[in-house]
Amino acid sequence: MKPEISKIQGAAEAILFASGEPVSLERLAEVLELDKPTAEKILNHLTDRFNAENAGVQILRLEDGWQMCTRAEYAGQVRQALDMRRNMPLSQAALEVLAVVAYNQPVTKSFVEQVRGVDCSGVLGSLTSKGLVEERGRLDLPGRPLIYGTTPDFLRCLGISSLDDLPPVEHGEEEEEADEPQKQSWPAEDAG
């Protein structure tokens, strides 16, 4: 009986952990293959065990189920740790995408991908959520692709006041698209 219960508790714990949101009693009972009262008893027990310790993680009983989250008293340290990662130096891939956008804006994703030769969706997304790159509407072309440009925050992070202050790309040595308006060099629309 005992190991059986601890396995069910383990499963409940794993489910609550992996789900970012509250998990309902119905769902838990269904997955754990228990009737609702038993499931509730087990969840309450799990909650007590978690919350008794002076632990970093707690289980909250909410209206619509249970949710695992950090204890409020550690919010400061959690924030600090996550904040640090937020401001870690950008990855090489992120820097490259940012550079291509900065020197050629406004650009479509497919333009960036054509220049870099690799898929850039994830990187563009994370640059957008970091506030360094922003959407600038859509191109009036088939597929109406989104176009991107850099933000004022981007200038601030670089410590420059205008895009004109970016290190100039030399003629001849570098690709010419940095200097020309981009209108004519949009890559052909692709299905991807």
> Between residue 64 and residue 123, which ones bind its own copies under the rule CB under 8 A?
68-71, 73-74, 77-78, 80-82, 84-85, 91-93, 118-119
| Strand spans (E) along the chain | 57-62, 65-70, 107-108, 133-138, 146-150
Q: Which residues contact 137 (CB under 8 A, 6 or more apart)?
A: 146, 147
Which residues inside 20-59 make contact with its own copies, applying CB under 8 A?
21, 23, 27-28, 30-32, 54-57
Q: How far apart are CA 110 and CA 144, in angstroms?
A: 12
Site for its own copies in 136-155 (CB under 8 A): 136-138, 146
> Both tokens of residue 75?
């919010």
Q: How far is the CB of 8 from its own copies (least distance, A)?
A: 9
114 binds another protein per the rule CB under 8 A: yes
Contacts 24+ apart (CB under 8 A), 80-89: 86/130
Give the interface with its own copies as residue ranges (CB under 8 A).
3, 6-7, 9-19, 21, 23, 27-28, 30-32, 54-57, 68-71, 73-74, 77-78, 80-82, 84-85, 91-93, 118-119, 125, 129, 135-138, 146
